[in-house]
Structure 1
């Protein structure tokens, strides 16, 4: 996961550090993960909490 934003002074794109999440559990099937907050296209600043929802397979 990465986040992209614009520096308010220079207007240059700013990227967050990359966060990797790996799950290796083929017996459980594929789960569906959705980002609930922040919503797509919303403008944010500062530190932001991310909310997700997970629908378990099976």
Structure 2
């Protein structure tokens, strides 16, 4: 019975650890996408402003 408890405990810890890793990878992946998205949007906004200024001038 004790052996089973130890094994199930390790499985739970392992699952918890895997969940944390998956969560970190997910956050890292989303963060990477947000950085790319912000960079693209920033480029688009700056290009738009550049064109707007060029048209005004």
TM-score by structure 1 length? 0.21
Structure number having the greater helix percentage: 2
Q: Which has the larger radius of gyration?
A: 2
Q: Which structure carries more relative contact order (alpha carbon 8 Å, separation 6+)?
A: 1
Structure number having the greater strand percentage: 1
TM-score by structure 2 length? 0.21
